[in-house]
Amino acid sequence: MFGSNQYQVRAHRSLVDIAYRLLDAAAILAATLAATRYTDDEHLPNLAVVGATTLLLHMVAVEVSGLYRSWRGSRLALELWCVLITWLYTAPAVLGVGLFTKFNAEFTYKTKLVWLVLTPLTMISGRIAYRMVLRRLRKHGHNTRRFAICGVNKLGVQLARNVQNSPELGLEFVGFFDDRPQRRTQEDVGEERPRAGNLPELVQLARSGRVDKIFITFPMRAEKRIRDYLTQLGDTTASVYIVPDFFVFQMLHARWSSIDGLPVVSVFETPISGIDGVLKRGFDLAVGCMLLAALALPMLAIAAAVKFTSPGPVFFRQKRYGLSGEEIRVWKFRSMRVCEDGAQVTQATQGDDRITPVGRVLRKTSLDELPQLFNVITGSMSLVGPRPHATAHNEQYRPLIDGYMLRHKVKPGITGLAQVNGARGETETLDKMELRVNYDHRYIREWSLWMDVKILVKTALVVFGQPTAY
Q: Is 40 within the bounds of a domain? A: yes
> What range defines the domain where residue 333 resides?
274-462
Cα 232 from Cα 237, distance rounded (Å): 11
> Are residues 210 and 126 located together in one domain of the fold?
no
> Are residues 454 and 318 located together in one domain of the fold?
yes
> Are residues 288 and 434 located together in one domain of the fold?
yes
> Cβ(298)–Cβ(286) under 8 Å?
no
CATH number at residue 182: 3.40.50.720
Q: Is 260 within the bounds of a domain? A: no
> Are residues 287 and 395 located together in one domain of the fold?
yes
pLDDT, one tens digit for every residue, the chain (470 residues): 333 333 343 444 456 678 888 999 999 988 888 887 776 655 556 677 788 888 898 888 887 777 887 676 567 888 888 899 889 889 888 888 877 877 666 677 788 888 889 999 999 999 898 888 877 777 766 667 889 998 888 888 888 888 887 776 778 888 899 888 877 766 666 666 777 788 888 888 888 888 888 898 888 888 888 888 888 888 777 888 888 776 656 666 666 665 656 666 666 677 777 677 888 998 999 999 999 999 999 999 999 988 888 888 888 888 888 888 888 999 888 887 665 555 555 555 555 667 788 878 888 787 888 999 999 999 999 999 999 888 888 888 888 888 888 888 899 999 999 888 887 766 678 888 889 999 998 898 888 888 999 999 998 887 654 554 54
Q: Is 442 within the bounds of a domain? A: yes
DSSP 5: T
> Are residues 150 and 122 located together in one domain of the fold?
no
Q: Is 62 within the bounds of a domain? A: yes
> Cβ(321)–Cβ(327) under 8 Å?
yes
> Are residues 120 and 155 located together in one domain of the fold?
no
> Are residues 408 and 285 located together in one domain of the fold?
yes
> Are residues 157 and 286 located together in one domain of the fold?
no
Q: Is 79 within the bounds of a domain? A: yes
For residue 138, what are the CA distances in angstroms to 69, 135, 141, 148, 331? Answer: 20, 5, 5, 18, 57
Supply the pLDDT for residue 14: 58
Domain end point (choices 119, 139, 159) = 139
- For 292-308, how does the pLDDT look when each residue is reduced to its tens digit (9 = 90+)? 999 999 999 999 988 88
> Are residues 64 and 162 located together in one domain of the fold?
no
- For the residues of 295-342, what is the DSSP string, one character each? THHHHHHHHHHHHHHSSS-SEEEEEEE-GGG-EEEEEEE--BS----S
Burial class (CB in 10 A: 0-12, 13-18, 19+), 232: middle
> Are residues 215 and 201 located together in one domain of the fold?
yes
H/E stretch holding 172 reads strand 171-177
Cα 296 from Cα 300, distance rounded (Å): 6
Q: Is 374 within the bounds of a domain? A: yes
- Per the structure, the count of domains in the chain is 3
Read off the pTM. Answer: 0.58
Count how many residues are written for the chain: 470
